[in-house]
Chains A and B, each alone.
Chain A
Amino acid sequence: MKGLLKKDFLVLFRAYKLYMIVAVLLVVQTFLSGWGWQVIFPALICGMLPVSLYSLDERDKWNTYALTTTYTRRGLLSEKYLLGVIIMLVITAVSALAMSVYALRVSADIQVDAALCTYDVFGHNVVIPYAAARAIESLLHSVSMALIPTAVSLPFMFLFGAEKGRLIAPVVLGFSATLLVSFELSRIGGAEGFVDLGAALGLAGIAAALYAVSWLVSVLIVQKRDF
């Protein structure tokens, strides 16, 4: 597993420099404009990375080769899911960092709309500033958006191969975006100045569950597959 991760990070470093630069630029943009929607885009881009790397693997016949070494089918696919989680954590952490920097820079403005939001957490009332609630919501969305594309695409890749499997990518991106937009729209009817963190957490939870189910499905699919 370590060798597989090492290989994927080397490929990322060698073949995805431009990809990384775009992701970083998007994060930098967050520095300048605050939290909100923007944080979703680096997450979505990075969420497609495991699938992209899998396509490269198949093109280069790496899977076939790897299966002749010490790796198993299950190991190969599990590594892609693990990689997805690592990428999700990294991009979310980077976004959090960017937002913190932004928050420090414009702390004066934050004071201005320093409305407070109150949440009921296991019977305790937790009060946090509106701005912080928006930031947490953005990060939860980042988690969801990084996980969903991988969760939906990978089983198709394992089932149909990268060539046909990747046809689903636009559908997946559309699906994720629609999900998010409808989520944002649903906010319109809600109370002004309140961030529904419960809903964001719910979405992230659904994404995580989807991810786990996707892994289980892929394990079943990949055993039958010839490489």
Chain B
Amino acid sequence: MNTNGEYAISVHGLCKKYRGFALDNVDIELPRGLVLGLVGENGAGKSTTIKSMLGVVNRDAGDVSLLGHDIDGADGKAARERIGVVLDEVGIPAPLTANDVGAVMASTYTNWDSAKYFSLLDRLSLPRKKPFSKFSRGMKMKLGIAAAMSHGAELLILDEATSGLDPVVRDEVLEMLRDFARDERCSVLISSHIVSDLEKLCDLIAFMHCGRILLQSDKDSLLDRYGILHTSAAGFASVPPESVLSIRESDYGVEAVVDKTIAGSRLGVGAASLEDIFIAMIKKGGSK
């Protein structure tokens, strides 16, 4: 099933120190063909992780291999030819039009597919002759995605690509990514601080907090493992404390995020969302 190495992304021991912030031994593994969502609050280090992974930011330590190639090595360029990146601020020069971007990218990527690019522009109803500076946030993102998907990329890396988009456009973008991920060679890494965006797209989830990866897991196991327990204070007393991730008490009862594998299946445990789990883990302040 896998060609040229089985991981689309393999990052080990990634470190980067800034004044007042540090990426601390970040490990990320994305097997080929899957979609990984990197979740974290603003300032958790998602962008820095992505940038140091791609060498845009020099890393202090760590090994990065993308599509089976050492990104700093001699074949790093070969890997880049097959990666599409959309950054938070897309980075297309303000005066350029969509047509101009097509012309520039045609001289940038060996496998640039103009026909595909223009069909994507049409599909996303993007104007061809309007300068980038006049684009709305949603249009900018869509142009970035069109550019990233028109050179036969096997790995898409998107940083906050859905934030600041209106719901219709966001849905459109997620649908495109889902279609992209139907191909078993194609993998996606997408970061967001909006957990719900990723819930319906990703196979794998990584939680990031204060420059560290709290957990990386397959999404559905995570959803199956944790639940929300609603019970009375008396009822809560029988819940094994080591199963409790976070708890909110009021005069009327207790609401807790619990690990069902420890707490057992008991009455009053409902499904937890990724957001519930993420927030609970941050409150707990460590991985489990």
Is A–B contact present in the complex under a CB 8 A cutoff?
A: yes
**Cβ–Cβ contact A70 & B103, under 8 A:** no
Interface residues of B in 51-100 (CB under 8 A from A): 51, 54-58, 77, 80-81, 83, 85, 87, 89-97, 100
A60 to B133, CA, bound (A): 9
Residue interface bits B172-186, CB-to-A below 8 A is 1, else 0: 000000000000000
Please provide the chain A residues from 54 to 82 with a CB less than 8 Å away from any CB of chain B in the complex.
56-57, 59-71
Q: Check if A7 sits within 8 Å of B96, measured CB to CB.
A: yes
Q: Does B109 contact A (CB under 8 A)?
A: yes
Give the dominant DSSP class at B's interface: loop
Say yes or no: A62 contacts B104, CB within 8 Å. no
Q: Which of A56, A64, A68, A223 has a CB less than 8 Å from the CB of B93?
A: A56
Asked if A209 lies at the interface with its beta carbon under 8 angstroms from chain B, I say no
Q: Which of B222-264 contact A (CB under 8 A)?
A: none
Q: Is A3 an interface residue (CB 8 A)?
A: yes
Across-interface contacts of A160 in B (CB, < 8 A) = none
Judge whether A164 is part of the interface by a CB distance below 8 angstroms: no
Q: For A124, what are the chain B residues with a Cβ–Cβ distance below 8 Å? A: none
Q: Given A6-B104, A69-B80, is A224 in contact with B58 using a C-beta cutoff of 8 Å?
A: yes
Q: Which segment of A10-18, A32-40, A101-109, A210-218 sits at the interface? A: A10-18
A226 at the interface (CB under 8 A from B): yes
- Tell me if A183 counts as interface (CB < 8 A to partner B): no
Cβ of B94: which chain A residues have Cβ within 8 Å of it?
Answer: 15, 56, 59-60
Within 8 A of A (CB), among B133-186: 157
Chain B, Cβ-Cβ closest to A72? B77
Q: A14-B96, A226-B56 are in contact. Are A65 and B104 (CB under 8 A)?
A: no
Within 8 A of A (CB), among B118-132: 131
Q: Which residues of B contact A226 (CB under 8 A)?
A: 51, 56-58
Q: How far is the CB of A132 from chain B (nearest CB, A)?
A: 41
Q: Indicate if the CB atoms of B91 and A3 lie closer than 8 Å.
A: no
Contact with A60, one of B92, B103, B105, B109 (Cβ below 8 angstroms): B92
Minimum CB–CB distance from A12 to chain B (whole Å) comes to 9
State in angstroms the CA–CA spacing of A65 and B89 once bound together.
9
Q: Which residues of A contact B (CB under 8 A)?
A: 2-3, 6-7, 10-11, 14-15, 56-57, 59-71, 223-227
Top 4 A-B pairs, shortest CB-CB distance = A65-B91, A3-B107, A68-B85, A3-B108
